[in-house]
Every structure is written in structure tokens, then in C-alpha cells.
Amino acid sequence: MQPEQVLAEFQDTGALLHGHFELRSGLHSDQYFQCALVLQHPRLAERLCSALAGMVRERLGAAYRPGAVISPALGGIPVGHELGRAFNVRAIFAEKQDGRLVMRRAFEVRPGEHFLVAEDVVTRGGRVHEVMNIVRERGGIVDGVAVLVDRSAGHFACERPVIPLLQLAPVTWAPAECPLCRTGQPVQHPGS
């Protein structure tokens, strides 16, 4: 899929929101990708994630197949599930407990097992890094990060390859510098 096709799917499903938003990173923006609104359509989720799997194979090799896919809950779960289907491997997730991501539900990371990390949207990638640390702490190997939308325009700092289906650079501001705050526009918190 071409970037304009991906963006059109987000717009057609109402998943690209406009307003005044506080992102999970703490930054403010006038755009927000509510991936749940596009992923609620199973056939569309399958099509987008299949295209993402193709991009992963282009970047990591045509024969690439991870041992498993791991995602941060909540937004990354459907992406991880569809990538698991595309690669025919298990899809697991880490979830919040006491404010940080942890492994639960008897999910396993085996020493030496290769993982693809899957996420819906990254700006600074804090949750992706948390998931990568979980894999490494258990002796697993992270091969790369597959993401539907990279809001950082390629500036997300990661030591493993980051493979986005769509890469954009929406304007973001620190709260103290946000022009929308200065005009008194209410801040929305649409995240998970």
C-alpha cells in the first residue's frame, strides 16, 4: 500500500482526529491517530497489517519469520495479532500493572527466541522500549519494530530497525509552548 492509501483509510474511518490532544508522550498536537477506529474493521486491519508484514520482509529479508510477535497493550494488540497471523507465529502482549508494562497470562519469552515488536502508533516510543526490555530481560532477541504509524517522521530513536506502514511528522509541542493551550482550547486525552 502506498502512504496516501494508508492515510486515506485512516481518514475514511475517522481514525485521524483533529483538535487539541495530549499524546501519551506528554507532547501536545493538533492531530491524533486513534488506530482503534481503523482496526475495528477486521478486513481493513488484516489488509493494513498484511502490507506492514510485507514491509517487514522487505527490510529484514524475504525469508524473515520471527519466533513470535509481542506488543504493548492495548493499542498494539490487534496489530500484533494480525502480524502474528501474517507470519504464522504466536502473538503475545505486555500489559500495565502498577504503571509499567509487565508480562502476565503465562506468556513466555524463551532465551534466544527472536521477536518482532508490534505497535499501532509511536511518537517517542516509550512503550516500545519497555517491551524490548521485557524481551531482553528474559533472554529474547528483538529483530525489529513494526508500527502502523510513526508520528516521529523517522526520528524515533531505536537501536533495532523500525518499519512503519505510514510515516508522518505532525506538529507537536511541549505543553509550555503549545499555541492551542495559549488560546484556551481544551485538551483531549483520547489515548488508551
Kindly report the CATH number assigned to the domain that includes residue 75.
3.40.50.2020
Residue 189 lies in a domain: no
Residue 16 lies in a domain: yes
* Residue 174 CB contacts under 8 Å (≥ 6 apart), including other chains: 26, 27, 28
* CA 149 distance to own-chain centroid: 7
Could you list the residue range(s) of the whole structural domain that residue 89 is in?
Answer: 3-182
Instruction: Write out pLDDT tens, residues 61-115.
Output: 999 999 999 999 999 999 999 999 999 999 999 999 998 999 999 999 999 999 9
pLDDT score recorded for residue 192: 52
- Taking a C-beta distance cutoff of 8 angstroms, is the pair 141, 110 a contact? no
Largest distance between two CA atoms of the chain = 53
pLDDT score recorded for residue 165: 96
Residue 37 lies in a domain: yes
* CA 2 distance to own-chain centroid: 18
Residue 191 lies in a domain: no
Domain count, the chain: 1
Identify the DSSP state of 75: T
pLDDT score recorded for residue 153: 76
| Residue 64 vs residues 40, 57, 133: alpha-carbon distances, Å | 28, 6, 22
Residue 192 lies in a domain: no
> Residue 8 CB: number of other CB atoms within 10 A?
13
- Taking a C-beta distance cutoff of 8 angstroms, is the pair 104, 95 a contact? yes
| Residue 150 vs residues 33, 67, 113, 128: alpha-carbon distances, Å | 10, 24, 26, 12
pLDDT score recorded for residue 191: 66
Q: Do you find a cis peptide bond into 60, omega within 30 degrees of 0?
A: no
Identify the DSSP state of 188: B
What is the pTM assigned to this prediction? Answer: 0.89
pLDDT tens for each residue of the chain, 192 residues long: 898 999 999 999 999 999 999 987 788 999 888 999 999 999 999 999 999 999 999 999 999 999 999 999 999 999 999 999 999 999 999 999 998 999 999 999 999 999 999 999 998 888 999 999 999 999 999 999 999 999 887 788 899 999 999 998 888 899 999 999 999 999 998 865
pLDDT score recorded for residue 189: 87
- Taking a C-beta distance cutoff of 8 angstroms, is the pair 26, 192 a contact? no
pLDDT score recorded for residue 70: 98
